A and B are shown apart, each in its own frame.
Chain A
Amino acid sequence: MSDHPHSDGLAIETLELTKRFGNQTVVNAVDLRVPRGAVYGFLGPNGSGKTTTIRMLLGLAGATSGRVRVLGEDMPSRLQQVLPRVGALVEGPAFYPFLSGSANLHRLDTADRFAPGRTRTARVAEALDRVGLSHAATKKVHAYSLGMKQRLGLANALLMPRDLLVLDEPTNGLDPQGTREVRNLVRSLAAGGATVFVSSHLLAEIEQVCTHAAVMSAGSLVASGTLDELRRVGQAFVRLRTPDVDIARGVLLRLGLAPTALDEQASATDVDAATGWTVSAPLTDRSVTPEGIVASLVAANVRVRGFVVDEASLEDRFVALTGEGFDVVQ
């Protein structure tokens, strides 16, 4: 650990983590730093390398190059010491269809040498209760719905108290109620002191619970940091509704902004036409406050009928980083 003086506070740390399948680089020099206690969103569109990264974190797949440290220990060399402290859901749940939900959990719990057999039955019941599956405990898994399997997968991650949870798309297949429950579950795990690393391609589903996020695109990490840091990089816009377009533009120009008038012709196709915004400017200079802008406008006798600052949503930022197209990159 001496060569990583700052890594003690990190639940997950990767250095130049790279995975190649044949000549396709699926994960490309990814440096992840997940602080302990964080709820860390791992975002990226389909095929961007999230699951592959998670497989390497858990020692399921070997890295082509680079290093992985989980809970302060090298992976995969310290896998036997690390993984008992990690609960995981990888690429969706997987179970023996011919066993019941609770029999499945029993089976997977025996695989952990350090999970005490004495408390197994109680822990299985507790985990099932935590994900709302108590009533389906004796039902065979082949008769489970997708969302029920997803819940059972979460229960499996919770069989033992964990320091770190790695959840790959935990809300996949869940109904809105279930999605909210997963968010609550993540919150309660974080409140209990665990670090939660949760991947998703639906930002909105995890934005509310995350403290940090990283964005993958085509195998590379294109952004990472606290949510505030990520938002700050994004562009904000001021929008103004006024009949005095020209005066307003002059005021904004003097303030150092670059306004565009949303004139009649353009607004015929512009969505802004519907809302009646007539002037818009990117808020490039953060020292210019919204109230300062309004004061200047009023002082110049601009009839301000509406004024708004649109913070770029994280969603916009996400799309900006990963591209809008529907086609999978690789």
Chain B
Amino acid sequence: MSSSNPITEVSPADAPERGAAGAAFGWALLASELVVLFRRRRTIAMLLALALIPILIAVAVRLSSNEVSAGQGPPFLDRITQNGLFVGITALVVAIPLFLPLTIGVAAGDTIAGEAGLGTLRYLLVAPAGRVRLLLVKFAGAAAFCLVATLTVVITGAIIGAILFPIGPVTLLSGDTISVADSVGRSLLIALYVTVSLLGLSAIGLFISTLTTVPVGAMAATIVVAVTAQILDALPQLAWLHPWLFSHYWLGFADILRQPILWDSFSDNALLQGGYILVFGALAYGRFATKDILS
């Protein structure tokens, strides 16, 4: 511990000027959040697990001798042998009910509770990160994870599909045929749709994460919420509730596979997810803005 002077580029007396520069959001924290999130071994492991889904599907279909007939197994499964481009989409359909919510639950549940559990939350806040800014950065991190997770499934699917199956123009649900390039665009659009679908759950996870200092608890609770919503969505007696469930449009991306694209489900879904983000974002803010940080 030498007694040398600290770097005097910014002296404490500059604080008012630093205050004037306060308009800046300070994007470095968001960059740091993304780096910490995606360099973390747990995140990488979850993405690898997601990447395994299309690989398993493609290999299983390739190795099985008997033809998959239409209507058997998950949607689009029967088309994989004709066109490898369907592997990614089939894998998404498989991953949406459980695997994706599982990983989103881990990422979103960890946001605040993870920092609280480590004790780093108090050091972020005395830095000062700003409570609202930290919530925004954490939600942005969770949203980035949704996008990367979805893209992982779609892109791995496209690659393994191209390796194991023929690639060609894709016949859509509407009967039209689109080019390979166009179908890649559609796959990415579906990935975007699924990412947006998961933002409501991310906001719920963020809110739950502000309630506890035990990250595992917040993760589990978020996953339970995701599963419960889907169970409710399956009960015909609760039909009135269905349009309000954040999971209601999760599998509704078939419209993107029509020619021309039907945007209704996309916008309905985006509106619903936006509502969830607003409500649970406000709840998270209400909880976190004045919460005593005692961990």
Contact between A83 and B36, CB atoms less than 8 A apart: no
Of A81, A106, A116, A188, the residue contacting B19 (CB under 8 A) is A81
Chain-A contact segment, one of B169-177, B264-272, B276-284, B287-295: B287-295
Is B242 located at the chain interface by the 8 A CB criterion? no
Q: Which residues of B contact A96 (CB under 8 A)?
A: 36, 118, 120
Contact between A60 and B7, CB atoms less than 8 A apart: no
A contact residues, total (Cβ < 8 Å): 59
Which A residue's beta carbon lies closest to that of B125? Answer: A60
Of B7, B12, B24, B129, the residue contacting A162 (CB under 8 A) is B12
Of A111, A131, A192, the residue contacting B29 (CB under 8 A) is A111
Which A residue's beta carbon lies closest to that of B20? Answer: A114
Contact between B120 and A79, CB atoms less than 8 A apart: no
Contact between B118 and A62, CB atoms less than 8 A apart: no
Contact between A61 and B4, CB atoms less than 8 A apart: no
Distance of A17 from chain B, by nearest CB (Å): 14
Q: Which residues of A contact B72 (CB under 8 A)?
A: none
Which A residue's beta carbon lies closest to that of B9? Answer: A119
Q: Which positions 9-40 of chain B face chain A at CB distance < 8 Å? A: 9-12, 15, 18-19, 21-22, 24-26, 28-29, 31-32, 36, 40
Of B10, B118, B129, B292, the residue contacting A111 (CB under 8 A) is B129
Is A110 located at the chain interface by the 8 A CB criterion? yes
Which B residue's beta carbon lies closest to that of A192? Answer: B5
Which A residue's beta carbon lies closest to that of B15? Answer: A85
Known: A98-B41, A123-B7. A110 touches B32 (CB 8 A): yes
Is A288 located at the chain interface by the 8 A CB criterion? no
Distance of B178 from chain A, by nearest CB (Å): 44
> Bound state CA distance, A130 and B5, in angstroms?
9
Which B residue's beta carbon lies closest to that of A106? Answer: B32
> Bound state CA distance, A95 and B120, in angstroms?
6
Q: Which residues of B contact A130 (CB under 8 A)?
A: 1-2, 4, 6
Is A47 located at the chain interface by the 8 A CB criterion? no
Is A112 located at the chain interface by the 8 A CB criterion? yes
Known: A96-B120, A108-B127, A111-B29. A161 touches B11 (CB 8 A): yes
Contact between B12 and A94, CB atoms less than 8 A apart: no
Contact between A116 and B122, CB atoms less than 8 A apart: no
Of A85, A98, A113, the residue contacting B130 (CB under 8 A) is A113
Size bin of chain B's contact surface: 35 or more
Q: Which residues of A contact B126 (CB under 8 A)?
A: 58-60, 83, 86, 88, 90
Which A residue's beta carbon lies closest to that of B123? Answer: A108
Q: Which residues of A contact B130 (CB under 8 A)?
A: 80, 113
Q: Which residues of B contact A129 (CB under 8 A)?
A: 2, 4
Known: A94-B118, A126-B7, A158-B6. A111 touches B18 (CB 8 A): no
> Bound state CA distance, A65 and B21, in angstroms?
33
Q: Which residues of B contact A109 (CB under 8 A)?
A: 127
Is B66 located at the chain interface by the 8 A CB criterion? no
Is B237 located at the chain interface by the 8 A CB criterion? no
Contact between A94 and B2, CB atoms less than 8 A apart: no
Contact between A132 and B22, CB atoms less than 8 A apart: no
Distance of A302 from chain B, by nearest CB (Å): 52
Tell which of B4, B29, B40, B128 has the most Cβ of chain A within 10 Å. B128
Is B275 located at the chain interface by the 8 A CB criterion? no
Known: A84-B18, A184-B1. A94 touches B128 (CB 8 A): no
Distance of B61 from chain A, by nearest CB (Å): 37
Q: Which residues of A contact B65 (CB under 8 A)?
A: none
Which B residue's beta carbon lies closest to that of A78? Answer: B19
Q: Which positions 194-217 of chain B face chain A at CB distance < 8 Å? A: none
Contact between B24 and A107, CB atoms less than 8 A apart: no
Contact between B28 and A110, CB atoms less than 8 A apart: yes
Of B4, B12, B133, B292, the residue contacting A163 (CB under 8 A) is B12
> Bound state CA distance, A125 and B168, in angstroms?
55
Is B69 located at the chain interface by the 8 A CB criterion? no
> Bound state CA distance, A88 and B123, in angstroms?
8
Which B residue's beta carbon lies closest to that of A132? Answer: B1
> Bound state CA distance, A110 and B29, in angstroms?
5
List 19 interface pairs A-B (beta carbons < 8 Å), by A numbering.
A58-B125, A61-B293, A80-B22, A83-B127, A85-B15, A94-B120, A95-B118, A96-B36, A106-B32, A110-B29, A110-B31, A111-B32, A112-B129, A113-B130, A115-B127, A122-B7, A160-B10, A161-B8, A181-B1
Measured CB to CB, the residues of B under 8 A from A are 1-12, 15, 18-19, 21-22, 24-26, 28-29, 31-32, 36, 40-41, 118-120, 122-130, 133-134, 290, 292-294
